[in-house]
């Protein structure tokens, strides 16, 4: 219903914030990580939203980064993961940290989140990795050999990171330059490190 809402921060009282846009105040449920990342009251913020529709209620959940909202959508599509656990996971970990744990199969790290046991963490890894790396859209591949002065990053790592970035909602055009910069900034052939650097560049631009 709403992709994002940009407006003035009226209040920040966990677990909700209020953003005012064109005379309308939007109450948005957020986790502590999102609220902590926002500017002060009276300043402008952009929140990526998800409409939660249940039998007896409707409300908006919000995230300061697009990839967190996308990961939340994927998480809550996993059997046994509801809104509460999805919000807890993205409070305990940033989107890139959670993806890194999934890539590395680190269920012990994921199980640190409140209410997430080892079995559920393993299930999250299996299903989330499958969904993040099964992008059907054809990629315009960036080859490591096409990048001057960098042969450290393998084509396999680059392809995996491209697929995840596209799963998170970025188009080839949007992430191409950021990924090239990330490849040249990354010193080892590691998909988690390359992804974190690419996301850092994308979200700071």
pLDDT digits (tens, 9 = 90+) for 41-71: 999 999 999 999 988 899 999 999 888 898 8
Domain annotation covers residue 90? yes
CATH code, domain carrying 88? 1.10.150.20
Q: Give the residues across from 27 on adjacent strands.
A: 18
Whether residue 160 sits in one domain with residue 123: no
The verdict on 117 and 156 lying in the same domain is: no
Give the span between the Cα atoms of 51 and 60, in whole angstroms. 5
- Count of domains forming the chain: 3
Q: Residue 183 CB: number of other CB atoms within 10 A?
A: 21
Banded pLDDT at 139 (limits 50, 70, 90)? low
Per residue in 66-89, pLDDT (tens digit) is 888 988 988 888 887 899 999 999
Three-state DSSP class for residue 145: helix
Per-residue pLDDT at 187: 85
CB 183 within 8 A of CB 155: no
For residue 31, give the CATH number of its domain.
Answer: 2.40.50.140
Q: Are residues 55 and 83 in the same domain?
A: no
In a domain, 152, yes or no: yes
pTM of the model: 0.78
Asked, for residue 50, whether it belongs to a domain, the answer is yes
Query: Quick one: pLDDT at residue 170?
Result: 83
- Tens-digit pLDDT profile for residues 144-190: 554 555 558 888 888 889 888 888 888 888 888 899 899 989 888 98
Same domain, 9 and 53: yes
Residue ranges with strand state E in 54-150: 58-63
Work out the pLDDT band at 18, boundaries 50, 70, 90: very high
Q: Is residue 137 part of a domain?
A: no
Percent of the chain with pLDDT over 70: 90
Q: Which domain holds residue 14?
A: 4-63
Domain boundary among 132, 161, 187: 132
């Amino acid at each position: 219903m709403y992709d994002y809402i940009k407006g003035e921060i009226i209040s920040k009282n966990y677990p909700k914030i209020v953003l005012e846009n064109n005379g309308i105040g939007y109450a948005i449920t957020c986790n502590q990580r999102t609220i902590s990342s926002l500017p002060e009251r009276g300043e402008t913020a952009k929140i990526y939203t998800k409409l939660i529709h249940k039998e007896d209620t409707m409300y908006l959940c919000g995230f300061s980064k697009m990839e967190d909202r996308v990961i939340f959508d994927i998480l809550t599509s996993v059997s046994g993961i509801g809104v509460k656990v999805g919000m807890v996971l993205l409070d305990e970990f940033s989107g890139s940290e959670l993806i890194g744990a999934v890539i590395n199969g680190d269920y012990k790290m994921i199980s640190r989140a409140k209410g997430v046991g080892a079995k559920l963490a393993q299930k999250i890894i299996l299903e989330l990795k499958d969904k993040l790396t099964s992008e059907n859209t054809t990629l315009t591949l960036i080859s490591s050999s096409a990048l001057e002065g960098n042969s450290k990053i393998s084509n396999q790592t680059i392809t995996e990171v491209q697929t995840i970035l596209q799963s998170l909602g970025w188009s080839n055009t949007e992430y191409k330059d950021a990924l090239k910069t990330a490849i040249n900034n990354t010193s080892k052939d590691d998909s988690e490190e390359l992804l974190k650097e690419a996301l850092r560049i994308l979200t700071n631009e």
